[in-house]
Amino acid sequence: MSLSQRIYSLREIALRELESTASDRALEDWRVRYLARKGELAAVIGELGSVPGEEKKDAGRAANTVKAELQAAFEEAQQRLRATAPDEERVDVSLPGIPPMVGGLHITRQTLYDIEQIFATMGFTVFETREVETDEYNFQLLNLSPDHPARDMQDTFYISDTLLLRTHTSPGQIRAMRQYCPEPLRVILPGKCHRYEATSARAETMFYQVEGLAIGHGITLASLKGLFKAFANKFFGEGREVRFRGSYFPFTEPSVEVDITCYCMGKGCTLCKCTGWLEISGGGMVHPVVLENGGYDPDDVTGFAFGMGVERPALNRHDIDDIRRFYSNDLRFLQQFA
């Protein structure tokens, strides 16, 4: 059998098989078998180089004719399958596309933006710093020497002997002071913090903080108290009480903790441990040692600093009873605030 005869014989076999194809999958399999670059027709045509001259011409004409016929038959079969496909399988290209799902800001990010906006109206600017810090900035320059017992208050994720994930936004104080010194300073420093501790309804290993720092002449603890009373009125609305309790932080002296009335309004819940009060911030007057480390003269200027959580105010603002809901990736919860 000559090569031309083999080509025509292959055409007959392929056309008979094509008549029995009843699905897109079967039609694609047929195309791959006969018309693809490594299909049966291509394999036969590849033998043209080994046949004599006159027979090569006949085989070449046969190959071109059969290839065109099979291609036309394939396209005709495609149209036949499309015309007989069930309505639900047809694609109406004139229909509008399916709109993509539109996401929304996470409740933590929304709360952070609200806090930044409120402090912006009080003259504070945003100063962003690094999330991976050195032990020097995270502890030592904040009056926490390597053997200081207060380090035990913050269980730390260490990357190396000198690098760590910051446990608070306070190291940004030093960086801000060294950048702005000797000018007066009023900044907030938002960002993530990390502590290696047990999670609960009011504590997580990763959380957001907003650090606040103001340095200048005539700044007192009363300035900080007035700031928080104004913030509480704007963020939580009228009616929430604010109280200040004496506390201890190595980088402030004197130091206070700031509480607001819980959303349970004194009835008691797991979030406030049935006390009716929820701590939202800690701060005080910047310690003279910290001022010196930042480049300022503590005999010339004073300043206050505070560190405020973002999730806890959001808990109180939206009557949420567990901080772990923020990062549980439960869309039913998150979509309420999107």
Picking from 89, 120, 146, the residue at the C-terminal end of a domain is 89
pLDDT digit string, tens, across residues 289-302: 999 999 999 999 99
98 occurs within a structural domain: no
Q: Which band of pLDDT confidence, cut at 50, 70 and 90, is reported for residue 306?
A: very high
**Residue 168 sits in the same domain as residue 256:** yes
pLDDT digit string, tens, across residues 77-86: 888 887 776 6
Q: What percent of the chain has pLDDT over 90?
A: 43
310 pLDDT above the threshold of 70 = yes
**CA atoms within a 13 Å half-sphere pointing along the CA-CB vector of 15:** 15
* CATH for 152: 3.30.930.10
The closest of 286, 281, 225 to 258, measured between CA atoms, is 281
**Residue 123 sits in the same domain as residue 264:** yes
**Residue 177 sits in the same domain as residue 51:** no
Q: pTM of the full predicted structure? A: 0.66
Model pLDDT, residue 296: 96
**Residue 147 sits in the same domain as residue 224:** yes
Phi/psi at 336 (5° precision): -65, -25
Q: Which domain holds residue 84?
A: 3-89
CA 142/CA 252 separation, integer angstroms: 9
207 occurs within a structural domain: yes
Based on the structure, what is the number of domains in the chain?
2
**Residue 121 sits in the same domain as residue 10:** no
pLDDT digit string, tens, across residues 18-67: 888 888 888 888 888 888 888 888 888 888 777 777 777 888 888 888 88
**Residue 256 sits in the same domain as residue 155:** yes
282 occurs within a structural domain: yes
* Span 196-223, average pLDDT: 88
142 occurs within a structural domain: yes
Model pLDDT, residue 329: 86
254 occurs within a structural domain: yes
101 occurs within a structural domain: no
33 occurs within a structural domain: yes
Please indicate whether residue 33 or residue 266 has the higher confidence score (pLDDT).
33
Report the Cα 161 to chain-centroid distance in Å: 28
